[in-house]
């Protein structure tokens, strides 16, 4: 067993993993983390090399693993909730991945994204105006999560009446995948039963759209495939939970990060409202500075060399996308939040054959949200109090909450400068 390095993104490095990764990355860009039982890859060029090499590296085991032993019936439900042996597109390797990906791509073409933009803007405006009624509120629960969830569900054609249930099922999936501490077995069974309900819901929805198609993404996957290739109802049902989960969790997380960093920067929200900072540049810098998905796992199919380190077949690698955004070889000031500096290259959407199929959709979704917020809340500030914390759900980078205030009622002191001094825009 390798001695490794004490990287703990659930504990001591939860809020700021980047300082540790930057220090160790200078001398050891590929290191073993015993807590994660994985080799952490911190350098952008090494990650890109792995992501381009689908012969030597498999995505089949790309999700985080619970470090707590689960009851046997819970493990069985986790294996079967999507369907026996069924895998989402992110866990597929070629050639199976290629077949499914080709069909999924049709739902996120530039033309279809543009056609959905008015719906996206209507949702953002409605939720922003409702949130703006309060003097102070938690941005995550009042805007980021409901907006992102409603957008992806509307694109899929899922009625609003299911939003609360889908949010619960998504949270139950997080708990089971990323469990780090002992939890009552009965609670775990409740989470697993929730996932079983999630899978049954997806299968029912796919079957319904197969028989009675509508103007939505699920119907497109079943009826509008490229070159006559479509998904079966069972194949579509397997992908629906992932589209919902990935489609709203990462967007909500990115919105929280972007808003927090801009509100605590010297220019504050006013620079967004008056156009000093372009919304597109703000989005890209937010994705670079603190990627909503800190990393993704890969498994070595054969003996490999990564970043000069020899790894045996079966080794598990964690590609730290967030660290790639702080790579000193790619950025003049990697630890500084600076929209418009021209250096916002990142791996927030991955790379290679598993590059996020909804990247264009997500970018527009983030831009539309920020524009709606700037219109509805032009004097937004951070509420007084301690800096927000991150949830222990690595590799997701999710704030527990983000308290904000608006208008003249807002305090001159932000959560980023509780001692009355200016907050630094450079560090998390």
Mean pLDDT of 82-109: 92
Provide the token pair at 221.
């996957």
Asked if residue 386 lies in contact with residue 415, where contact means CB atoms within 8 angstroms, the answer is yes
* H/E run at residue 403: strand 403-405
Q: Give the pLDDT confidence of 34-52 residue by residue, as tens digits.
A: 999 999 999 999 999 999 9
Going by pLDDT thresholds of 50, 70 and 90, the confidence category of residue 228 is: confident
Q: Give the pLDDT confidence of 103-155 residue by residue, as tens digits.
A: 999 999 999 999 999 999 999 999 999 999 999 999 999 999 999 999 999 99
**What would the DSSP string read from start to end of 134-148?**
SSEEEHIIIIIHHHH
Angstrom CA distances, 278 to 268, 367, 370, stand at 13, 10, 10
Average pLDDT, the chain: 90
Q: What is the dihedral of CA 116, 361, 278, 250, to 10 degrees?
A: 130
- Please tell me the number of Cα atoms within 13 Å of 365 on its side-chain side: 28
CA angle 46, 47, 49 (to 5 degrees): 65
Q: Interhelix angle for 233-263 vs 145-156, to 10°? A: 150
* H/E run at residue 342: none
Nearest to 288 by CA among 343, 232, 344, 236: 344
For residue 159, count CB atoms less than 10 angstroms from its CB and return exposed for 0-12, middle for 13-18, buried for 19 or more: exposed
Q: Which residue carries 């809020």 as its tokens?
A: 15
Residue 38, classed as helix, strand or coil, is strand
Q: Give the pLDDT confidence of 304-343 residue by residue, as tens digits.
A: 999 999 999 999 999 999 999 988 776 767 888 989 876 6
Nearest to 397 by CA among 326, 314, 317: 326
Given a cut of 70, is residue 411 above it in pLDDT? no
Neighbours of 413 (CB within 10 A): 17
Q: Interhelix angle for 96-104 vs 233-263, to 10°? A: 70
Going by pLDDT thresholds of 50, 70 and 90, the confidence category of residue 344 is: low
Domains annotated for the chain, with CATH where assigned, are 69-292+343-409 (1.10.630.10)
The strand ranges marked E within 14-156 are: 30-33, 38-41, 57-58, 136-138
Cα 171 to Cα 196: distance, rounded to the nearest angstrom: 14
Q: What is the dihedral of CA 290, 329, 423, 275, to 10 degrees?
A: -70
The strand ranges marked E within 287-342 are: 296-300, 304-306, 309-311, 316-319
Provide the token pair at 51.
């992501």
Q: Give the pLDDT confidence of 378-390 residue by residue, as tens digits.
A: 999 999 999 999 9
- Please tell me the number of Cα atoms within 13 Å of 175 on its side-chain side: 20
Asked if residue 146 lies in contact with residue 124, where contact means CB atoms within 8 angstroms, the answer is no
Provide the token pair at 289.
């500075």
Q: Give the pLDDT confidence of 148-196 residue by residue, as tens digits.
A: 999 999 999 999 999 999 999 999 999 888 887 778 899 999 999 999 9
């Amino acid at each position: 067993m390798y001695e490794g390095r004490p990287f703990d993104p659930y504990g001591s490095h939860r809020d700021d993993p980047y300082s540790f990764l930057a220090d160790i990355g200078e001398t050891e860009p590929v290191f073993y983390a015993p807590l994660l039982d994985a080799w952490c890859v911190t350098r952008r060029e090494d990650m890109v090399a792995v992501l381009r090499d689908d012969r030597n590296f498999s995505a089949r085991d790309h999700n985080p693993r619970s470090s707590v032993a689960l009851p046997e019936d819970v493990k069985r439900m986790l294996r079967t909730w999507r369907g026996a042996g069924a895998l989402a597109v992110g866990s597929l390797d070629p050639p199976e991945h290629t077949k499914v990906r080709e069909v999924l791509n049709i739902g996120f073409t530039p033309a279809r994204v543009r056609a959905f933009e008015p719906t996206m803007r209507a949702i953002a405006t409605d939720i922003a105006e409702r949130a703006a009624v309060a003097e102070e509120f938690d941005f995550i629960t009042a805007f980021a999560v409901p907006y992102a969830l409603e957008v992806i569900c509307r694109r899929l054609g899922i009625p609003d009446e299911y939003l609360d249930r889908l949010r619960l099922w998504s949270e139950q999936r997080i708990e089971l995948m990323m469990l780090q501490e002992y939890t009552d077995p009965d609670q775990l069974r409740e989470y697993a039963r929730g996932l079983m309900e999630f899978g049954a819901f997806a299968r029912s929805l796919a079957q319904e759209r197969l028989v009675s198609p509508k103007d939505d993404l699920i119907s497109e996957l079943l009826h509008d495939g490229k070159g006559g290739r479509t998904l079966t109802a069972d194949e579509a049902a397997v992908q629906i939970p992932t589209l919902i989960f990935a489609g709203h969790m990462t967007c909500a997380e990115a919105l929280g990060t972007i808003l927090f960093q801009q509100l605590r920067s010297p220019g504050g929200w006013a620079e967004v409202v008056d156009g000093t900072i372009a919304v597109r540049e703000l989005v890209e810098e937010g994705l670079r500075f603190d990627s909503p998905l800190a990393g993704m796992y890969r498994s070595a199919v054969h003996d490999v060399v990564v970043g000069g380190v020899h790894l045996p077949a079966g080794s598990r690698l964690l590609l730290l996308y967030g660290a790639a955004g702080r790579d000193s070889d790619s950025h003049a000031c990697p630890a500084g939040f600076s929209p418009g500096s021209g250096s916002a290259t990142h791996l927030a959407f991955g790379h290679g054959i598993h590059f996020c199929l909804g990247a264009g959709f997500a970018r527009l979704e983030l831009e539309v949200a920020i524009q709606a917020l700037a219109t509805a809340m032009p004097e937004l500030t951070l509420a007084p109090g301690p800096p927000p914390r991150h949830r222990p759900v690595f590799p997701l980078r999710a704030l527990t909450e983000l308290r904000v205030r608006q208008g003249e009622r807002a305090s001159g002191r932000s959560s980023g400068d509780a001692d009355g001094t200016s907050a630094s825009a450079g560090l998390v």
